[in-house]
Amino acid sequence: MIRPHGSDVLNPLYVSNSHDREQLVQEAAELPALTLNSAAAANAVMLGAGYFNPLTGYMSKAEAKSVARDMQTLDGLFWPIPVVNITDDVAPIRGASRIALRDPNVQDTPPLAVQDIEGIDELSDAEMNTLVEQIFGTISEKHPGVATFKSLGRFIVHGPIQVLNHSYFEHDFPNTFRTAPAIRNEFAERGWNNVVAFQTRNPMHRAHEELCKMALEATGADGVLVHMLLGQLKPGDVPAGVRDAAIRRMVELYFPPNTVMIAGYGFDMMYAGPREAALHAVFRQNAGCSHFIVGRDHAGVGDFYGAFEAQEFLQHHVPSNALDIQIFAADHTAYSKKLGKVVMMRDAPDHSMDDFVILSGTKVREMLGRGEAPPAEFSRPEVAEILMEYFQNQKSD
């Protein structure tokens, strides 16, 4: 199986020894406490779950600047997006060397992690704008990721952490949330050595289904990891529970047995386009995947990124030796009326746009909200049924 990123052994920061963990929980109750924002909490979960291997905690301002500017940590490790604990108020922890990090997404904000403070750095407005521009390619607050990042505060609390739990993800998604070590273990149990990862924050329609099958065949992999984001999204995106149900139905009915593993990870979507696509590749390598599908508008939002900018970024701006995982670059995929099957558009040069069944996301949502299933060439009827129920309930609410 592929090695983790930046190390020979995966190093999740979750304290797995129950005795040690209980002692830390008791210690956390007595420590000065910082209630995290959702973005910093998601970073803690990803560190705890091994997806951000080999990082040992939150980055300093100098490290964050290095990563944003050069996609390298200060010791030369490839890393595409800063992993930071940014806050707007450090008064409760001023002068402390060790603190409890409280979870904003769980009732009563229980401790999520314990952090050793190596320092607290302050970002100027100019430094914040530079970070944002380098990460997202824009400083426009019409970009939801930019608006969120700029709202977090100006203080960077850096240092190593020990993670006590995986926030709400294990409780809310017990059949889906998986850590990187758990995914690697299941691959081994299934006898999978080479695995294609498919990232999704949306329901999967026919084009996504067939893309996974195409990638599986083209790479000769043993299976596909359908790996869905379970954290916070922008308004209007389909909630994780609905996506999970729809994807499971599709896999059950339309994939051969033991060719797909469904799992989820606890991260908030940043919509950072190319940089986030590179981060997705990092944590899929840590999860043991050998190949990663990068398609049209990967991790993008609105018109902020070109349709295949993420692919171009990974192919031409990420150093060739930075990652072991291989990128499967996918074209826009749609049902061909001429051929009677889903194809990548680049493989059908004799087609016009009218020869494909293509619907915009807005059009699909409108149809589902009216209780009208999209064409079977676009969406499996069993998937459409689950989504129709959700969108109609949204209207009635």
CB atoms within 10 A of CB 106: 16
End-to-end Cα spacing for the chain: 47
CA-wise closest residue to 266 among 198, 172, 188, 186: 172
Extract the tokens encoding 44: 């803690």
- Any catalytic annotation for residue 249? no
Q: Which of 102, 178, 201, 243 is catalytic?
A: 201
286 is catalytic: no
**228 in Cβ contact with 248 (< 8 Å):** no
Return d(Cα 99, Cα 118) in angstroms, integer.
Answer: 11
139 secondary structure, DSSP code:
-
Q: Is 113 helix (H, G, I), strand (E, B) or coil?
A: strand
Please name which of 294, 299, 293 lies closest in space to residue 271, comparing C-alpha atoms: 299
Whole-angstrom CA distances from 395 to 123, 238, 245, 374 are 43, 14, 20, 18
With CA atoms as reference, report the closest residue to 55 among 153, 158, 166: 158
Q: Of 98, 190, 202, 248, which residue is the catalytic one?
A: 202
Point out the residues that are catalytic: 201-202
